[in-house]
Amino acid sequence: MPDRPGLFLRDPYRYSDAMLIIPPVLVECLRLFDGEQTETDLRALLVRLTGDLQVGELQRHLIQTLSTAGFLEDEVFARLKERREQEFAAEPSRLPAHAGSAYPEELDPLRETMARYMDHSAAAAPDDRLFAIAAPHVSPEGGWQSYQAAYGALAPRYKDRTFVILGTSHYGEPERFGLTRKPYITPLGSSATDVALVDWLAARGGDAAIMEDYCHSFEHTIEFQVLFLQHVYGPDIRILPILCGPYARSIYMGGKPEDDPGVSRFLDALSELAAREGDRLFWVLGIDMAHMGARYRDPFGATAGTGRMQEVAERDQQRIARILAGDTPGFWDLVQDGQDDLKWCGSSPLYTFLRAAAPAAGELLRYEQWNIDPQSVVSFAGLSFRK
């Protein structure tokens, strides 16, 4: 904003609705709010930055503004966090968080948009072994061709199954799985969650399972899959939504994800559920792949399909090949290489699926790279899996 330059701050967890613009001269001060510095340190920095000894009022204003907005770890933030989490827990439904931003909120424009994305997809050939697809969770406008490829593989006979939706939890705790009993609502309607299966997983999943995980309230990775499922089948479907936190311990410290006792217990429970329910389930993964460029803290800009992104495509294809072969250890070895420098945010749902559902074979339906901004690229794909 030319008339108000500065650093824009917001809360991705939505505990706070506040949005602040910190003037450039004060941005450096934010480094001092780390629990280690004192107000005396802040005052000294303000004097140096402004050249004015009388900075008491500015100091008080900065602290009060950050606190009131809920951007400091203090009592204000604790109250906001508690209230938001209690409100979500008490809600009867999971309301659409991205209608009006990622896709149209009004029904007729939404139907027109979904028809534009999907209505030219080829009819799915009969395949009794198909039991899972993976689609992007990137903005549908940016990734609609991969969404189309994945959801175009679905046949009418799958409608009565429970759709186990494994989504990336961008904000959830590592080595944790977020569950909810709430139906998911979009402008197309309300889709019921299979509460009996949620309760079964919650009872057997151990401490790694977080019931009514607040991240469901704003995470887009499952919402987008529900939207496409509703377009294909109508809202009268059953879902089992599971948010998969990152397997950070394994990526950064080595070993397998299930070396964590909580992860192991949950994966065993999910595997048992898959074996017990069999053809009553259909698996849907909401995953993106590499995240490269300036937005993702790389020291370079990225352009889809050129330069560095050609090498990224080759490495993506190596991982995809391991996934399609059902080679769970081989896939994870590639993720751990370089501590996942490709930043595949879909790695935990993919590993969870491979470990729990044990597909025999997969097929790459479409692979894409998309410039989410002029200097940053996300890669993603549409995949299908057979028993």
- What are the CA-CA distances from residue 22 to residues 25, 42, 239 (Å)? 8, 15, 42
Q: How many CB atoms lie within 10 A of CB 116?
A: 12
Q: Each residue of 204-226: pLDDT tens digit?
A: 999 999 999 999 999 999 999 99
Q: Which residues pair with 369 in a beta bridge?
A: 379
Q: Please provide residue 40's backbone torsions phi and psi, each rounded to the nearest 5 degrees.
A: -65, -40
Tell me how many helices (H) and strands (E) the chain has: 13, 13
pLDDT of amino acid 261: 97
pLDDT of amino acid 85: 96
Q: Of 342, 358, 205, 361, nearest to 269 (Cα)? A: 205
pLDDT of amino acid 127: 79
- How confident is the prediction for the chain on average, in pLDDT? 96
Q: Each residue of 163-203: pLDDT tens digit?
A: 999 999 999 999 999 999 999 999 999 999 999 999 999 99
- What are the CA-CA distances from residue 201 to residues 173, 184, 227, 270 (Å)? 18, 18, 24, 7
Is 125 a residue whose pLDDT tops 70?
no
Is 122 a residue whose pLDDT tops 70?
no
pLDDT of amino acid 86: 96
**If you average pLDDT over residues 88-116, what whole number do you get?**
97
Is 120 a residue whose pLDDT tops 90?
no
Report, at the CATH architecture level, how domain 94-386 is classified: 3-Layer(aba) Sandwich (3.40)
347 vs 2, higher pLDDT: 347
| Strands 209-211 vs 376-386: parallel, antiparallel or unpaired | unpaired
pLDDT of amino acid 2: 86
Q: Please provide residue 204's backbone torsions phi and psi, each rounded to the nearest 5 degrees.
A: -110, -10
| Sequence ranges of the domains in the chain | 7-86, 94-386
Q: How many CB atoms lie within 10 A of CB 242?
A: 25
pLDDT of amino acid 123: 66
Is 346 a residue whose pLDDT tops 90?
yes
* Structure token pair of residue 97: 């968080």
Q: Each residue of 35-58: pLDDT tens digit?
A: 999 999 999 999 999 998 999 999
Q: Give 1's pLDDT tier (boundaries 50, 70, 90).
A: confident
Q: Give 128's pLDDT tier (boundaries 50, 70, 90).
A: confident
